[in-house]
Amino acid sequence: MINNETGKENEQGRIFIQKLLSAKDVAEILGISVKTVNKLAREAKLGCVQVTAKERRFTEGQIREYIESRTKIIRVDMPRVRQVSSQPKKGGEQDCKAKSFEAQVTGSLVEELKALCR
């Protein structure tokens, strides 16, 4: 006895042939265009049965294999957002030194003006 999906002989010695789907049927199943289905078959990303030079047919198994190959497993236990540290402002410590120097100069000028006004 042979499984219906494999397409081999069963107890009576008969061969079971799977129903073949057209590119249009596959496009509807996958939610893509017929042109994309043919492109995937040309690139050997989606298996097919080449019926004629222009016609391709697809089995359910080939569609399942394609879907499984494109399925990604998403880990839930990973942290969602990484905290980004911002870069220091341009000039860094030099800016701080310049500002403190300006404050010292301004402070001393204010003191001199006060002394002159007395």
**Residue 12, domain member (yes or no):** yes
pLDDT digits (tens, 9 = 90+) for 5-27: 555 555 667 777 788 999 999 99
pLDDT digits (tens, 9 = 90+) for 38-97: 999 999 999 999 999 889 999 999 999 999 998 888 777 766 666 667 776 666 555 555
- What span, in angstroms and rounded, lies between the C-alpha atoms of 49 and 59? 8
Domain that holds residue 58: 1-72
Q: What is the pLDDT of residue 80?
A: 65
**Residue 63, domain member (yes or no):** yes
Question: What's 45's DSSP letter?
Answer: S
Domains contained in the chain, number: 1
Could you tell me the CATH number of the domain that includes residue 52? 1.10.10
β partners of residue 58: 21
Q: What is the pLDDT of residue 63?
A: 95
**Residue 22, domain member (yes or no):** yes
**Residue 36, domain member (yes or no):** yes
User: What contacts 12, CB < 8 A, 6 or more positions away?
Assistant: none
Compute φ and ψ for 52, nearest 5 degrees: -135, -175
Q: What is the pLDDT of residue 16?
A: 74
The pTM (predicted TM-score) of the whole model is 0.51
